[in-house]
Amino acid sequence: MNRPFEGIFGNTCELRILEFLLPLREIKFNVTELAEEAKISRVTAGRVIKKFAEWNILNVHDRGVTEYSINPDSPIVKSVDALNNAIIGEMLGEEKLNEISEYISERQNVQNSKSTAFSSGINGSSNTDNSDSNNGYNTGGDDGNDPVPGYCGEEHKYVCHGHKGER
């Protein structure tokens, strides 16, 4: 499947960086990491990042090594994100979007029930099964349905902005 922007707007360095960062809110990257992910040179990535920072598309985090993250409060980012989701909707079709939406709802319900079980165990009320090494507490681990815990599958990673990935 083509990347959402590529089919309509082409394949530019700016679009590659935007597409990479959109679903990864609050995760910080340095210039080298962004260049590698976008498959562009470090010099080109630096030029794009400078432009994006000037337009308030990126947040700049300067603590020793300068890192950058997408600015979710930027009106430009909000508009690009909405456009990205609209393109994805057209690419996937309504049936696939409904399937993804149901999957996300199911995962949220599973996570909510795990949180409730964990809270109950802390309060000492309901979770007293000490048969495992977690002393009866639900640790929120993988339930076997995800390829990697905490990561959305490849076919819908672009629309799962609610998940916070890890590097």
- Do 62 and 107 reside in the same domain of the chain? no
Give me the mean pLDDT over the 24-28 stretch: 92
Q: What is the pTM of this model?
A: 0.57
Q: Between 111 and 148, where is the model more confident?
A: 111
Confirm whether 127 is domain-assigned.
Answer: yes
Query: Is pLDDT of 7 > 50?
Result: yes
Confirm whether 112 is domain-assigned.
Answer: yes
Total length of the chain:
167
The predicted pLDDT at position 119 comes to 60
- Do 115 and 70 reside in the same domain of the chain? no
Alpha-helical segments (H) within 11-124: 13-21, 31-38, 42-54, 75-92, 94-123
Confirm whether 165 is domain-assigned.
Answer: no
- Do 103 and 63 reside in the same domain of the chain? no
Percent pLDDT > 90 in the chain is 40
Q: What CATH number does residue 67 fall under?
A: 1.10.10.10
The predicted pLDDT at position 89 comes to 85
Q: Which residue type is seen at 34? A: L
Instruction: Single out the residue in 49, 76, 103 at which a domain terminates.
Output: 76
Q: Which residues span the domain enclosing 31?
A: 6-76
- Do 10 and 72 reside in the same domain of the chain? yes
Give me the mean pLDDT over the 62-68 stretch: 92
Give me the mean pLDDT over the 134-151 stretch: 42
* Identity of the highest mean pLDDT range in 25-29, 108-112, 152-156: 25-29
When divided into structural domains, the chain yields a total of 2
> What rounded mean pLDDT belongs to the chain?
76
Q: Are 107 and 163 in contact (CB under 8 A)?
A: no
- Do 11 and 59 reside in the same domain of the chain? yes
Q: Are 17 and 49 in contact (CB under 8 A)?
A: yes
